[in-house]
Chain A
Amino acid sequence: QKEVEQNSGPLSVPEGAIASLNCTYSDRGSQSFFWYRQYSGKSPELIMSIYSNGDKEDGRFTAQLNKASQYVSLLIRDSQPSDSATYLCAAYTGKLIFGQGTTLQVKP
């Protein structure tokens, strides 16, 4: 079992819709979680961090954490074609471990 798992996708949503990206992790001791966005041919860039159960909102992005279910999600409201990228979930388990990433396609 991988330490951080994501559905590789692609996840395709129409412009203006809500995109929901999910991630599960195996280490119950994980303390912090991050979402990175990686455009094709570019390096990952940090979008959100979340450390406690519940929701954290930043503009069109909402990160959700449920430690009991070992589940992290990222919601993108009013999706735009410029949001098309690979989204990487990362969990701190003594070191920062990344999932494989989910490719999001936002169709105009």
Chain B
Amino acid sequence: KAGVTQTPRYLIKTRGQQVTLSCSPISGHRSVSWYQQTPGQGLQFLFEYFSETQRNKGNFPGRFSGRQFSNSRSEMNVSTLELGDSALYLCASSRQSQSSYNSPLHFGNGTRLTVT
């Protein structure tokens, strides 16, 4: 069974640009969550999508947005990139929504974004 697939693996962008990251969940999983991981802040929750609806959102500015398609694939967009957005962006899928508190997350390998 294929795992969570994230593309691209690496990205280098310039301040002010925008970027779109893609995530394909495990087959049958309908929830996709996005996390930002940095050495200083650890893993921080961005948002969760379930059945094409945003279910929950973390404390990130509106420059961070996402969407989910009918096949459960998800994209995350960051506009007007800042140096501080350099991080590993991890996507995780689960069979049920995070509100089903016993549904563990399965992570992809992440997209390493560098903003210069």
Contact = CB atoms under 8 A, between A and B. Distances in A.
Interface in B98-116: 98-99, 101-102, 104-110
Contact of A99 (B42, B102, B108): B42
Contact of A44 (B44, B58, B90): B90
A98 interface: yes
Contacts of B33: 95-96
Nearest to B94: A96
A108 interface: no
A95 B58 contact: yes
Interface string A24-45: 0000000110100000001111
Contacts of A51: 101-102
A97 interface: yes
B45 interface: yes
Interface residues of B, number: 21
Contacts of B99: 94
Contacts of A73: none
Contact of A94 (B56, B90, B110): B56
B90 A43 contact: yes
Interface string A49-69: 101000000000000000000
A71 to B, nearest CB: 18
A92 B101 contact: yes
23 contacts: A31-B101, A32-B101, A34-B104, A42-B109, A43-B107, A44-B43, A44-B107, A46-B105, A46-B106, A49-B104, A88-B43, A94-B56, A94-B99, A95-B33, A95-B48, A95-B58, A96-B33, A96-B45, A97-B45, A98-B43, A99-B42, A101-B42, A101-B43
Interface of A: 31-32, 34, 42-46, 49, 51, 88, 92, 94-101
